[in-house]
Amino acid sequence: MSISLVIAASLVWVIGYLDDRKELSVRARLPLQLLAAILAVYSLGANFQLLPDLLPYWLEMLILSIAILGSINVANFMDGLDWLTVTGIGIPLFLLGILSAIFLQEPAIPAISLAISGALAGFAVFNRPPASIFLGDSGSLPLGLITGAVFLLFAGQAGIIAALILPLYYILDAGSTIILRLSKGENILQAHSSHAYQIAKRSGKSVYFVTGSLALLNLILGAITAAALWSGTLIGQLYGLIIALVLTALLILYFRKRV
């Protein structure tokens, strides 16, 4: 990781700050976010690739930059409930830091993961329902960028499959919401309240129940990730991902069930 990650995070912080106050248009936000994403990918290393035998370097860098761009915006979209970011990002980052320190040789992953999760633990005190402090765009956008970069670095060390397990709730909730909104002809770039966790809250489930359920799921996903890493085999990681997909999908379906 390098100074370019700091520059990228600072850029999206400025974008978020301006958006919080002046509501920037999508045309103004996305190009600058993409630039920040490219800088974040560059920070991973000049020779960083996940699929060097399958994709040319330039194409993989484009795909990874789009992945970081997605991470930036998913972190923002999912920051719609007190404590959700703490449980949805803070716990996975904490577990990522611990597992990386145990299984991997890349010191940057636990250093950044544990630092961010520690900051979110402090934030949790003030974001406890009913929250007195919120991340806003200026907080969620750089958080999404740094989280995406760290998970890509983890993927480079542990494999793509293992890296998908811990952030699976955010991936599936955001992904399924986009698909459902597209199927209804809605503009996916406009503000909405269609995420599974938001539906669960509107259906009468408490904030503590929603965030507690997500915290429990993420602890289980952490255990699955540990088992996948301990197995040291591709088949072990695949089994872990399948189990994680089933458990995460069940929680999302339960959240989406209107009662």
Q: Each residue of 192-243: pLDDT tens digit?
A: 788 999 999 999 999 999 999 999 999 999 999 999 999 989 999 999 999 9
Structural domain of 180: 3-256
Amino acid at 224: I
C-alpha separations of 26 from 21, 31, 103, 114, 254 in Å: 15, 9, 40, 32, 32
Query: In this model, does residue 147 exceed pLDDT 60?
Result: yes
Q: Each residue of 9-55: pLDDT tens digit?
A: 999 999 999 988 888 888 888 999 999 999 999 999 888 999 999 99
pTM of the model: 0.93
Q: Each residue of 52-81: pLDDT tens digit?
A: 999 999 999 999 999 999 999 999 989 989
Would the annotation count 137 as a binding residue? Answer: yes
d(CA 240, CA 29): 37
Query: In this model, does residue 98 exceed pLDDT 60?
Result: yes
What is the structure's pLDDT at 194? 87
What is the structure's pLDDT at 229? 95
Q: From its phi and psi, is residue 2 left (phi > 0), alpha (psi between -120 and 50) or beta?
A: beta
What is the structure's pLDDT at 238? 96
Would the annotation count 76 as a binding residue? Answer: yes
118-148 residues labelled b (16+ CB within 10 A) or e (exposed): eebeebbeebbeeeeeebebbbbbbbbbbbb
Question: pLDDT band at residue 1, thresholds of 50, 70 and 90?
Answer: low
Count of other CB atoms within 10 angstroms of residue 170: 25
What is the structure's pLDDT at 179? 93
d(CA 72, CA 143): 7
Average pLDDT over residues 249-255: 97
Query: In this model, does residue 251 exceed pLDDT 80?
Result: yes
The domain total for the chain is: 1
Question: Nearest to residue 64, comparing CAs of 172, 148, 164, 154?
Answer: 148
Long-range contact pairs involving 157-161 (C-beta distance under 8 Å, separation at least 24)? 157/100, 157/104, 157/105, 157/106, 157/109, 158/100, 158/103, 158/104, 158/229, 159/234, 159/237, 160/50, 160/51, 161/228, 161/234, 161/237, 161/238, 161/240, 161/241
Question: pLDDT band at residue 105, thresholds of 50, 70 and 90?
Answer: confident
Q: Each residue of 174-205: pLDDT tens digit?
A: 999 999 998 988 877 676 788 999 999 999 99
d(CA 54, CA 168): 24
Q: What are the φ/ψ torsions at residue 77 (nearest 5 degrees)?
A: -65, -35
Amino acid at 129: P
